[in-house]
Amino acid sequence: MKIIPAILTGDPKDLELKIRQAESFIDIAQIDIMDGKFVPSQSITAADLAKVKTKLFLEAHLMVECPLLEIIPFKQAGAKRIIFHYESKDNPAQVIKEIRKQGLEVGIAINPETTIEEVEPLLGKIAVLLLLSVNPGFYGSKFIPEVLDKSRLLAPKKRNYVIALDGGIKLDNILEIRNAGVEIACVGSEIFGKGEPKNNYLDLLKKVKEI
């Protein structure tokens, strides 16, 4: 299992701090983007991200109503992968087409209540399926274990995409998550919430390597 640090902040200075912290232990980071409409909270913008120069592979997790409007701005800001929500207002097939047109990797995120059957027709066109295991938009939200049933359903099947999980991932549940077939864990507060982010990341990495 791969662990990706997820950065959720509305403060441009905090964004740069967390990116610099991530650079000390990994080569990739997820930037959580919220518009205050799709979810109640608001975060930094593409313009804020563009001001931070980094060699990290950045994926933008767009928790926004209209992802089509954000693809080019986040490409220009340095994102190499765009993950958008199936539940957004834009047509998912159209969003996938536009992301690919811009030469970026495509991911679809689905909220806890969205079923695999709803997104199944799109799975052949993506690189990442991001399962939300919390109701999106807040650091430290409560983990919803039933979401792991989606991963258990998909994991045995031959796939062209990887299964990722985002939300409520902690040291005490990451083995259960790994054993459900999740290949990427996107972790926010357990890495950045307290203590030294690098040490928190290494603790999680050590845990997922347990037999």
- The residues annotated with a catalytic role in the active site are 32, 166
Pairing assessment for the beta strands 162-166 and 184-187 based on DSSP bridges: parallel
User: At CA 43, angle to CA 202 and CA 75, rounded to 5?
Assistant: 80
**CA atoms of 73 and 92, how far apart (whole Å):** 18
Alpha-carbon distance of 134 to 168, in angstroms, equals 6
10 Å CB burial of residue 40 (0-12, 13-18, 19+) is exposed
CA gap 144, 165 in Å, rounded: 11
For the beta carbon of residue 136, count every other beta carbon within 10 angstroms: 23
**Smallest Cα–Cα separation from 43: which of 136, 141, 167, 137?**
137
Token pair for residue 30? 């997820």
